[in-house]
Structure 1
Amino acid sequence: MKIDKKHLLNYSIVIPYLVLSVIGLIVVYSTTSVTLIKYNLNPFNSVLNQGAFWVVSMLAITFIYRLKLNFLKNKRILSIALFIEVILLVIAKFFSEEINGANGWISLGPITFQPAEYLKLIMVWMLAFTFSRRQNDIEVYDYQALTRRRWYPRSLDDLKDWRVYSLIMVGLVVIQPDLGNAAIIVLTGIVMFAVSGVGYRWYVALMGTIAGISALFLGIIGTVGVKTMAHVPVFGYVAKRFSAFFNPFKDLTDSGLQLAHSYYAMSNGGWFGRGLGNSIEKNGYLPEATTDFVFSIVIEELGFIGAGLILALVFFLILRIMLVGIKAKNPFNSMMALGIGGMILMQVFVNVGGISGLIPSTGVTFPFLSQGGNSLLLLSVAIGIVLNIDANEKREEIYQEVTEEIHRSGTQEFKVIS
């Protein structure tokens, strides 16, 4: 009996991914063509660039799907990825040009990329690698198995300093400053911590600590005022965001400009929208209409019903990814899939929360719809890993079932093609 991996492809993940990617290309054209025409450029320039990244992304998914999962469990490969990521974050902060008040992009000729974007997936990878190798110790020592080395001397190849690595990399993202991606990384880390197997009391304590720190921070801003905080390095960037969060209409020419026009866009859209391509706010009124606030434009053009259907499809994809993690029997596979699902979920939460005023705006793109080839490529790589994990788990399950049947009936052996 032969099991070809291509027959194990999870179409409940592939089809939503393809649909969202196509919708993303349409949205990119809709939000960028007006500006390109204004400057006498080809209106298809941006969508062609996004399409090229999508082709590369599809090739990346195919390549990753055909790989054996052992490459993700190799400490040497992970260590190299962590080292390269730290170097890129340092270069982005100290040796790159400032864009929109932050130093987070690296330019290589016509190609620009944001190292913090890729850190989200690398952090999921690192935490899944570390936590999965300590499952037996977590069962006995709970949270302390993740913090005290002496209880598991046989796990000599673990990343014992995972907390140090995490703090260093998140810190490098914060000082760029890129609080949006930093928030996603921290929230995703909380998801990874929750599924690591530690007792719920430690998770509750962690959430309580974060809530306390957040309340203290808000209290300080409320006491000293946003204007005072604006003179503090790094926090000056944050202060503007909080100023808009408290009252976007107070300063419509600066800090409140984006959020106020985001409200206008959503109000214009109503239930059914103005029609695809008919947005008013994308005509120079709403900054970052193609990236951070693209979902506001989607609501304006397709209405709350159309945007809601797209959001429902995104949540369906996230749930299918998390279901792979829930069903997986291998701890690493389970945590990796749940972490990727959590990563996408947190990005949606931070983006939609920012454009709607539920949380301070953080400059985070909306998955699949925002212009940006790097974001699409990262998401595609993550999807490829989940598809590989799902196929591997299915193959192992079939292998086990058929092996048991062989032992019972004495039939001939079979071969599994990876």
Structure 2
Amino acid sequence: MMSKFHAFMFPWFGFGHMTAFLHLANKLAEKGHKITFLLPKKALKQLEPLNLFPDYIFFHTLTIPSVDGLPAGAETTSDIQISSGSFLASAMDRTRNQVQEAVSIGKPDLIFFDFAHWIPEIAGEYGARSVNFITISAACVAISFVPGRSPDDLAVPPPGYPSSKVLLRGQETNCFSFLSHPFGDNTTFYERIMIGLTNCDVISIRTCQEMEGKFCDFIESQFQREVLLTGPMLPEPDNSKPLEDQWMQWLSRFEPGSVVYCALGSQIILEKDQFQELCLGMELTGLPFLVAVKPPKGSSTIQEALPNGFEERVKGRGVVWGRWVQQPLILAHPSIGCFVSHCGFGSMWEGLVNDCQIVFIPHLGEQIFNTRLMSEELEVSVEVEREDTGWFSKESLSGSIRSVMDKDSELGNLVRRNHAKWKDSLVSTGLMNGYVNKFIEALQKLV
């Protein structure tokens, strides 16, 4: 029997990253391994309920220093606009002494990290192994981060890149311009990720061989690092908290598979005209819908930003909601027939393991790769076509939704069949457990 290890986890201060790390922590803790989870104080309240093994997973809170340009009290990405990410990265970098002290006292065997590119140095100093845990798709990493290339080369696939449809089209390459932007003290986003990938002891990716094997092999060959796959790392369904009554009652009024649910993630705040086009596109489908997005820029509430007459026209069949909802439970409700999403990696998996049709409106670079993977490689979803402005029209949104919701649609039936096939293999307990067991075995050999 192999010995138990002690792992530190230090994810980027975004909830998509922190929750992915915590799902992994739960899987390791389930097998009796001890985890010390480093996070900002403000994130504790939201993450504590997701800790399924409080006897094995211990939260260690960090004091986030103030940084010029970072709003007072901001500690996570949900406290800031995307454009302020660099200030939050500086704050993260300035917790280095706190992290180092915790490591010196806790003496972990492994340290998992993603954006804190200086972790391998600390790990080396205290005899721990550093594990770079990637929570985005392998396809995205395989084209964006290749030793010896710069962000300017992104329009052209690197030599040896797997034959694939997961590529940017010419007009979209500007969505990766953020790679060369400053991100933290004296580093660009690209340099930060490259240093972490080049200096870590091992790379782990939240994906599975069946979906992205060729991209994982490519990363392994480029970085000369072992690549370990965790599998999709989906949270166990939480049956202790049922769906909130207001949504349960509202959704239950509609036929099975008839409601469109749209959510664009916690970081995206739309311009007012984009928000209105989204609402009008939903109205145009003629279907019942629930949209969960933050109020658009310049508006303090959803109500004040809605198009004229919209509420009266959709009364009884459409709701636009500006606050958090229980997404996994909503997606699992029998009335939901279509999920319209930005295709963040977490939402991508949540869509895959439910029965609803999937329509994607990707917003940022990584989401575009995820969308290509789903829509063109796996053919389980549809991507909304964009106008020259870079946004979409209400007609293209409603057309994409109708193309998968209409019972006679050839495209709708194709993606439904493919989706059902992938869902069956992903939710089979053997697949998830097999990945976790293999992953833990590889970690035990590492320490």
* Common topology (TM > 0.5): no
Structure 2 length as normaliser, TM-score?
0.25
The structure showing larger relative contact order (alpha-carbon pairs under 8 Å, at least 6 residues apart) is 1
Structure 1 length as normaliser, TM-score?
0.26
Answer 1 or 2: which has greater helix percent.
Answer: 1
Answer 1 or 2: which has greater strand percent.
Answer: 2
